[in-house]
Structure 1
């Protein structure tokens, strides 16, 4: 099955490893990192052709990303960084490349389904974080 069909719906946070180190490397401030490390967000994906909506809901904030596969766009990350994001589909992985608009650091985010779980690998300058979600 394609990632477009299996990723649709809600996902509950299960686990995270090395997320603080990734955020620090990406240039996220300590206060934001401290709050983000404690959150257990729910993710929801809606897919209509090449148009996607990804919504992250937590007790702290709701962040909505609307994007079109293959089209670079200005974006603001959930932690407040201004970036250009490009989403692509590669071998049933949803790949996001974030390029800083303000002289910051770039990130690479790989989302895929493994064993029925949503796995998200975030990487900045070789520092990786793995976050795992289960279908709601």
Structure 2
């Protein structure tokens, strides 16, 4: 299933729309200035998968954030907004799931990434506060 997802996700995606992202970031503990800045960005996401190793790159006018991972392998990460987390990516059905465990007193978060009607949808959730972000193929 991970190979099928890799084929579906591979390539570049342009941000189209989002809802409730600032509230989600607030729940995660992201500061006001970073929230305001991030809420107005329109990032490009790129997925490259080689030999089971994934690279997910988010590029915006503010910052480029790169996450390298293998399905099922836990690793330490620093989120684009500066939080320290332990991350694990896994597959649930046709979804790529990312579980973040907050470090240094930070909060846990979960992302569901999936393709629906040709669009990449990302549902971010922290303590019941959800945000949905939608991307189209570049």
Deviation at 1:68, TM superposition (A): 0.9
1:66 maps to which residue? 68
Deviation at 1:104, TM superposition (A): 1.2
1:129 maps to which residue? 131
Equivalent residues in 2 for 1:59-98, closer than 5 Å: 59-98=61-100
Q: Distance in 2 between matches of 1:27 and 1:47?
A: 31
The secondary structure found in structure 2 opposite 1:21 is: helix
2:106 maps to which residue? 104
The secondary structure found in structure 2 opposite 1:130 is: strand
Q: Deviations over 1:38-62 (max 9, x none)?
A: 1000000001232100000000010
2:122 maps to which residue? 120
Does residue 30 in structure 1 map to residue 32 in structure 2?
A: yes
Q: How many pairs align? A: 136
Deviation at 1:32, TM superposition (A): 0.3
Q: Which runs of 4+ in 1 moved over 3 A?
A: none
Deviation at 1:11, TM superposition (A): 0.1
Q: Distance in 2 between matches of 1:74 and 1:50?
A: 19
**TM (normalized to structure 2)?**
0.96
Deviation at 1:115, TM superposition (A): 0.4
Q: Distance in 1 between matches of 2:131 and 2:43?
A: 16
Unaligned runs of 5+ in 1: none
Identify which range, 40-49 or 118-127, moves more after superposition. 40-49
Q: Distance in 2 between matches of 1:26 and 1:66?
A: 22
